[in-house]
Amino acid sequence: MTTIGLIGAGHIGSQIARAATAHGHQVVISNSRGPETLTDLVAELGPDARAATPEEAATVGDLVVVTIPLKAISTVPVEPLVGKTVIDTNNYYPQRDGHVDALDDESTTSAELLQAHLVGAHVVKAFNHIQSDHITEHAQPAGSADRRALVVAGDDEAAKATVAAFIDEIGFDVVDLGPLAEGWRIQPDTPGYGPRLTVDSLRAAAEAAQRRG
């Protein structure tokens, strides 16, 4: 049994928590408003879930999910995540996050910004191109015909393998985009962002993606 630490308990975070507990994992959930605001979600998830602070979720998680707005990534605790695999689900939305020059000119990506903040952690981009409720609604057993695929991107092969195994376990095939810098291929306004695609069609969509500029 793996403990999944969640920093962020919004739409994506809560759905990953549901998928994780359904497959026998423990989850430790946190948000910026405090554990007391997560009582209903924890009650729904059952005995394998509890609420905590972001620091505790980062500390106890074997696998940690950062699923908060980009503008808040500087609040993610650094030291507890050294050496750990961290899933980044975020997207850059200027209307929410404010403009970031390095993202506007595409000299970096949102996941690379998180990686730069989390020195010593192994960030893997995942779950950023699927509608939150589809994380549970579209899940299928391995080998199912037309099984939906999700991407991973990251600079550490072992970390990517860990995340890919988790994604497969909860119901999806996996397409490896390569290094973290390639995560732009599945950002908003690219062909692979949003639709339900199989491995071959998702790989083709990622290859067809073009830079904004």
Instruction: Let me know if residue 100 belongs to a domain.
Output: yes
Distance CA 91, CA 54 (A): 20
What is the value of pTM for the model shown? 0.96
Burial (CB count <10 Å: 0-12, 13-18, 19+), residue 29: buried
Digit-by-digit pLDDT tens for the chain (213 residues) are: 699 999 999 999 999 999 999 999 999 999 999 999 999 999 999 999 999 999 999 999 999 999 999 999 999 999 999 999 999 999 999 899 889 988 989 999 999 999 999 999 999 999 999 999 999 999 999 999 999 999 999 999 999 999 999 999 999 999 999 999 999 999 999 999 999 999 999 999 999 999 876
Instruction: Let me know if residue 54 belongs to a domain.
Output: yes
Starting at the edge strand that comes first in sequence, how are the strands of the sheet with 3-7 ordered?
49-51, 26-30, 3-7, 63-66, 85-88, 122-125, 149-154, 173-176
Distance CA 25, CA 64 (A): 12
Instruction: Let me know if residue 213 belongs to a domain.
Output: no
The CATH number linked to 37 is 3.40.50.720
Q: How many domains does the chain fold into?
A: 1
For residue 63, the enclosing domain spans 3-208
CB 157 within 8 A of CB 180: no
179: phi then psi, degrees, rounded to nearest 5: -65, 165
Secondary structure letter of residue 37 according to DSSP: G
